[in-house]
Structures are given as structure tokens and as C-alpha cells.
Amino acid sequence: MSVRCYIGLGSNQAEPAEQIRRACAALAALPHTRLSACSRLYSSAPMGPQDQPAYINAVALLTTDLPALALLDELQRIELEQGRQRKAERWGPRTLDLDILLYGDQQIRVERLEVPHYHMHARAFVLYPLAELEPDLILPDGSALQTWLANCPAEGLQPLADQRAQG
């Protein structure tokens, strides 16, 4: 059974905009999955240590037959193929970060995966690109994306003029 899911994309190393575009191409090539849409690219300040470059972020909409953990495995494979090195430093610089934000209307809490994604309600670099794709989205807990947006100012978030994550 196909599930609509949203993937957050972020990069601040090794040509970040190109990393995001390559990741979207890789998402489009996933088995049993269709890439339906990608948001514009957005620039945002890093969440953790500020002595690193700004991030480029986007959100992609997929329709997939992959179970959530199989999709997570595929996302981590794409990250590794694009040079991601997992380090102990939280919120440090990275070539690519792919996160399952929403997986249908499911709420998932297992050791490897939490969906909806942890703290997405407070992350402008997730909410604004997500709203670009589906402004009237109702989240798994029944709340409206517009409510989350109203409580999450876009401070420092800048859309990159006419640059999309996908071709």
C-alpha cells in the first residue's frame, strides 16, 4: 500500500545546493517510490554550533511502498553515497542530512526512527518548505500545519530565488 511521506533535506558542505539536487535525483530512483514534488531551496542558519556555514534545506514529497524502516535505510544509504560521515557532534556540519518528517498519518517511535520528526514543529527550515508543498496539511496528531507555522517565525530563513531542489 502506497504511503505519502515527506523528507527533509539539508546540507552545508561540499556544494550544498548541488548535494540537495543530487539527493532529490536519488530519491526519484528509489525502488517502489515516486518523487512527487520538491520545494524550493532555502538558506538557514545552523541549529547547533554557529561556526559552520549556513544550511541549504528543502522538503520532498514521496509516494512509496517501502516500509518506514526500509525507507530510512535507503535514506541513510543515499547520505553515505554523498559523503555523509556520522560523527558524535550533534548538529555539526554535514554533506547531506535526510530525515523522514512524516510517513502518511503514522506516528512511529522506535529506537531508530521517530515520526513525525523530532521538533519539526519548531523548525522553520522544515515547516516553510513543507507548507510550500502542502499548505493545508493536517498532521498525524490532528493539528494543522498552518497552526505550527503561526508559532514558528521564519527568522533567518531565506528562499533562494527560483532555485528548486529538483531540476
CA atoms within 13 A on the CB side of 100: 30
Sign of CA dihedral 151, 157, 162, 167: negative
- Of 34, 97, 109, 164, which one is the catalytic site residue? 97
- Of 4, 22, 34, 84, which one is the catalytic site residue? 84
Active site residue 84: yes
Active site residue 65: no
Active site residue 136: no
Which whole-number Å values give the CA distances from 129 to 9, 98, 132, 137, in the listed order? Answer: 10, 14, 5, 12
Distance CA(68)–CA(150), nearest Å, equals 29
- Of 99, 112, 136, 164, which one is the catalytic site residue? 99
For residue 52, how many other CB atoms are within 10 A of its CB? 17
- Of 51, 94, 105, 164, which one is the catalytic site residue? 94
Sign of CA dihedral 98, 76, 121, 108: positive
26 neighbors 18 (Cβ within 8 angstroms): no
Active site residue 99: yes
So which residues are the catalytic ones? Answer: 84, 94, 97, 99
